[in-house]
Amino acid sequence: MIKAKYSKKTFKFKSPSGTSRGILTEKHAWFIKLWDTEKPDVIGIGECSIIPGLSPDFSNFEEYESRLDLLTNDLSLDLTNWPSIKFGLETAQLDLENGGKQIIFNNAFTKGEIQIPINGLIWMGTERFMLNQIEEKLQSGFSTIKMKIGAIDFETEIKLLRLIRERYDSSEITLRVDANGAFSNKEALDKLKELSELDIHSIEQPIKQGQTKEMRKLCAITPLDIALDEELIGVNSIDEKTNLLSDIKPQYIILKPSLHGGISGTREWINIANSQSIPWWITSALESNIGLNAICQLAAEYNNPLPQGLGTGSLYKNNIDSDLEVKNGFIFKKN
């Protein structure tokens, strides 16, 4: 008989991290543990990770933990509208099936045979703070950098991107930007044109989600490739996913298992995107090393040459010990 319980942990950021939803100093996560009563020493663990204001299944702690209480008594509970919990449960189930050794997928990454290319993430903040981060990532060997924009004034952000381009052309450094829906519909195209002059690879979610008509128009005429992110949140059925992508026709999609339907939901998105020839990559949603490990293993199930968004393991003072390592723009398992 499979039993379940959960526990909560609060992770502390090494330094305050600016996002479009404010400054983050701590991060809450819940860990689901599963075990078979006949083999109580073998435990599967999965992480339920939320970002307030972004996670569709989190409004308050009481409601969230109430759902977790229900789940521990009924593992067949419908989690369609609870993607972060679904991701935690699926991870724990796969971990348990594979012997409770944090092996979610027994693939080349898990065995330490391959490395996954990743982008270096630049957090929002003052010009000096962001410039320091850029220098650090370049010195660390990253060839793809993702910069969050929309928190400080646009001209300052353009200035920072221009400084990078003056030193490194697009053959040396790939630049991605993430607007988190910060542009208004009226100004979006002009800003995309200005960004495109700097050889930007792509922009995530330039306008707010839920504006299908406007996003479709923008993707059709944009001078800069657009990647959907928040747009995919809350789109759960295969038909809805298929219709959304065929309607908007984005240049890319970005997948976060904790936001986009857990492991199984992410696989659905990938299958649909592949069928429509839409490239994609996977990004962590500020998970601790438990969740990050699972997402890395999921990403390694696919032969995707694009750099993934998996460089968040060093964010916390009190992260869980891990055999994951980031070096020269790659993440891999240490032997």
> What pLDDT sits at residue 18?
65
CA distance 104 to 203: 31
pLDDT of residue 239 exceeding 70: yes
Copy the structure tokens of residue 88: 């935690």
pLDDT of residue 193 exceeding 70: yes
Q: Are 89 and 67 contacting, i.e. CB atoms less than 8 angstroms apart?
A: no
> What pLDDT sits at residue 19?
64
Residues 135-149: tens digit of each pLDDT: 888 888 899 999 888
CA distance 125 to 15: 11
* Closest by CA position to 119, among listed 103, 99, 134: 134
**Has 86 been annotated as catalytic?**
no
**Has 148 been annotated as catalytic?**
yes
Q: Which of 27, 148, 191, 333 is catalytic?
A: 148
The maximal CA–CA distance of the chain, rounded, in angstroms, is 63
> What is the identity of the amino acid at 100?
G
> What is the identity of the amino acid at 68?
L
Domains of the chain plus CATH, in order, are 2-97 (3.30.390.10), 116-333 (3.20.20.120)
Copy the structure tokens of residue 174: 């790939």
pLDDT bin (cut points 50, 70, 90) of residue 289 is very high
Sorted by sequence, the CB contacts under 8 Å of residue 73 that are 6+ apart come out as: none
Q: 309 φ, ψ to 5°?
A: -100, 70
pLDDT of residue 134 exceeding 70: yes
> What pLDDT sits at residue 171?
87
DSSP β-bridge partners for residue 118: 308
Q: Is pTM, for the whole model, over 0.85?
A: yes
Q: Which of 27, 146, 256, 333 is catalytic?
A: 256
